[in-house]
């Protein structure tokens, strides 16, 4: 019996020491021992248990220390790697399993639920579209409060929230064209196209933002024209007798009216606004944001290659190159606001959200469309700088200790964190990571934004990750998280022609679909910048990229949770879900 007493004593001693360690490091209060108690996932505290002496580094695995009462520091975790049978298994491994709440909730998507949600999405679209056509057309949009149409605020030209977007050109109808085809409504698509041809004119005394007119109007007209004339008929025979490229002519007319924005700037970076009749207003300011000036290449480039006129692609590429050449020599980062005459950075914040987002997006998407190796080299260099200076958290998404990956706003010259908020526009980045093949990082970042969505029922326009609370409390129906979700999972409408077609499609930053087509990789002119110093003349010939990266995920993980339950729970904790 003596040996039993010894064993019991040793067990009790080990339990006592373990409990003291947990309590000493502040973990005991929130620990779950496999029962229904709250679990506080302060994984960075375990560095003290497993780590050795740390050296300070610029970028570390913890971004949440202020949230948990610590001074914000960037430190790296150096937890040792241990095997499955090691007595020093990592903390997250104790919570792996196939029967937890996350596996039960997220491991399947029933066909009946999928069909129900698809029907709900369709109903929501037609609720908005039908009421716009009934109460608002031909004005730009429906004012839901007055149930009446709304166009530019002509009585208050300084109301740029309205006037930047609404140009008195039936915005909603044009913006909707390709959506009607995705929903399979060929009849209404043809009717809408004819309405646009018969009623829309850009000869208007309207001052609009170049960026908004480009992504909403020019992009939709180009997309609808391509779908109408596609000889492969991916959405069925959607063309109709008498169509004579009118949508393409409208797109050309609008682009010509936007060209004055590129004139009379010493840098080649365009003015942010133009009047569709008279050009750049005389009282225009000399400042513009990086995204606004550097996100024109997809639409302008496609237009140039469709009509055989290099002008539009040339001015868009010149703006991108001008911005690129202004990046910091120390970090490789760009700021968010620049003076178009002096080239000086007015806004020195570098991030992935407002003012920056689609600049990065269009570097990669332009490469996928046009095959210009220069675009890809710029994107890869930018992506490396983003990873080096904006990314915080643990090194790997699905392994190791530390906080989940997060991309913060930093000073473009020093890389130092400037604030503790992110905005909803940043939710596009997981989708871009998918297109770049970085699926693991995309999974983790997407889960973070999804957790914020679940907490608030929408993405706040600005979310403070330190305070776990919104800084700006509205949600203007932004599509960025939706696109990232689609690009990651694509399980929502498998039978849609968008998936079954021989074409590979990408979305513009406004969500218009364009095919990756060989004709967009051919141009009827010589190099755009043959004499410019430092121009990258190499071009990737005839290489079609398959933008499906399913094979990057190991076979054994394709039918399990994309992110381990312990890390999903950690993210939920980080955003205040429990």
Q: Residues with catalytic annotation? A: 212, 357, 461, 480
Greatest pairwise CA separation for the chain in angstroms: 100
H or E stretch at 141: strand 141-143
CA atoms in the 13 A half-sphere facing the CB of 349? 19
Judge whether 424 and 357 are in contact, CB under 8 Å: no
Cα distance from N-terminal residue to C-terminal residue, the chain: 47
What's the CA gap between 55 and 570, in Å, rounded? 25
> Rounded CA gap, 430 and 437, in Å?
10
150-164 b/e (C-beta count within 10 Å ≥ 16 → b): bbbeeeeeeeeeebb
**φ, ψ for residue 348, nearest 5 deg:** -100, 10
CA distance 107 to 370: 38
User: Which of 180, 148, 151 lies closest to 165 in space, CA to CA?
Assistant: 151
- Which of 222, 312, 266 lies closest to 528 in space, CA to CA? 312
Q: Is the peptide bond before 349 cis (omega within 30 degrees of 0)?
A: no
The one-character DSSP state at 457 is S
Q: Are 61 and 372 in contact (CB under 8 A)?
A: no
Instruction: Determine the 3-state secondary structure of 204 from DSSP.
Output: coil
**Residue 563 dihedral angles phi and psi, to the nearest 5°:** -125, 130
CA distances from 165 to 182, 255, 275, 280 (A): 24, 16, 12, 16
CA–CA distance, 433 with 361 (Å, rounded to integer): 10
């Amino acid at each position: 019996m003596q040996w039993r007493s010894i064993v019991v004593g040793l067990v009790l001693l080990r339990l006592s020491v373990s409990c003291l360690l947990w309590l000493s490091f502040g973990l005991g209060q929130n620990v779950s021992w496999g029962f229904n108690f709250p679990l506080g996932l302060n994984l960075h505290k375990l560095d003290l248990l497993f780590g050795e002496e740390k050296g300070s580094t610029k970028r570390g695995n913890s971004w949440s220390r202020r949230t948990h009462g610590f001074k914000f520091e960037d430190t790296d975790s150096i937890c040792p790697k241990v095997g499955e049978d090691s007595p020093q298994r990592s903390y997250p491994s104790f919570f792996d399993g196939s029967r937890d709440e996350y596996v039960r909730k997220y491991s399947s998507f029933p066909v009946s639920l999928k069909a129900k949600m698809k029907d709900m999405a369709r109903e929501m679209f037609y609720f908005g579209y039908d009421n716009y056509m009934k109460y608002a057309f031909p004005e730009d949009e429906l004012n839901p409060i007055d149930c009446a149409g709304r166009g530019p605020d002509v009585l208050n030209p300084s109301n740029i929230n309205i006037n930047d977007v609404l140009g008195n050109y039936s915005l909603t109808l044009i913006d909707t064209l390709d959506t009607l085809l995705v929903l399979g409504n060929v009849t209404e698509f043809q009717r809408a196209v004819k309405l646009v041809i018969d009623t829309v004119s850009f000869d208007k005394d309207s001052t609009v933002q170049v960026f908004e007119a480009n992504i909403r109007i020019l992009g939709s007209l180009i997309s609808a024209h391509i779908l109408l004339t596609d000889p492969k008929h991916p959405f069925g025979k959607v063309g109709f007798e008498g169509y004579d490229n009118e949508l393409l002519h409208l797109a050309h007319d609008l682009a010509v009216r936007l060209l004055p924005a590129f004139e009379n700037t010493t840098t080649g970076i365009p003015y942010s606004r133009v009047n569709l009749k008279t050009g750049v207003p005389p009282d225009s300011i000399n400042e513009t944001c990086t995204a606004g000036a550097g996100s024109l290449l997809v639409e302008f480039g496609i237009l140039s290659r469709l009509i055989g006129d290099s002008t539009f692609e040339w001015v868009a590429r010149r703006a991108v190159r001008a911005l690129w050449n202004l990046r910091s020599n120390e970090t490789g980062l760009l700021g968010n606001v620049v003076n178009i005459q002096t080239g000086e950075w007015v806004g020195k914040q570098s991030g992935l959200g407002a003012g920056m987002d689609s600049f990065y997006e269009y570097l990669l998407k332009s490469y996928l469309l046009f095959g210009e190796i220069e675009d890809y080299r710029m994107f890869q260099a930018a992506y490396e700088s983003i990873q080096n200076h904006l990314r915080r958290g643990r090194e790997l998404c699905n392994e190791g200790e530390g906080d989940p990956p997060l991309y913060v706003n930093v000073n473009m010259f020093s890389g130092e964190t400037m604030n503790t908020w992110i905005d909803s526009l940043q939710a596009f980045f997981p989708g871009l990571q998918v297109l770049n093949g970085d699926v693991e990082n995309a999974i983790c970042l997407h889960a973070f934004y999804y957790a914020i969505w679940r907490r608030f029922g929408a993405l706040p326009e600005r979310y403070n990750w330190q305070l776990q609370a919104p800084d700006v409390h509205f949600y203007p129906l932004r599509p960025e998280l939706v696109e990232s979700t689609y690009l990651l999972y694509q399980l929502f409408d498998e039978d849609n022609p968008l998936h079954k077609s021989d074409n590979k499609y990408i979305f513009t930053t406004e969500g218009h679909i364009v095919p990756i087509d060989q004709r967009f990789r051919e141009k009827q002119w010589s190099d755009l910048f043959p004499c410019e110093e430092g121009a990258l003349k190499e071009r990737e010939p005839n290489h079609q990229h398959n933008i499906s990266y399913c094979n990057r995920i190991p076979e054994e993980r394709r039918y399990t949770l994309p992110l381990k339950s312990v890390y999903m729970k950690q993210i939920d904790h980080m955003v205040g879900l429990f």
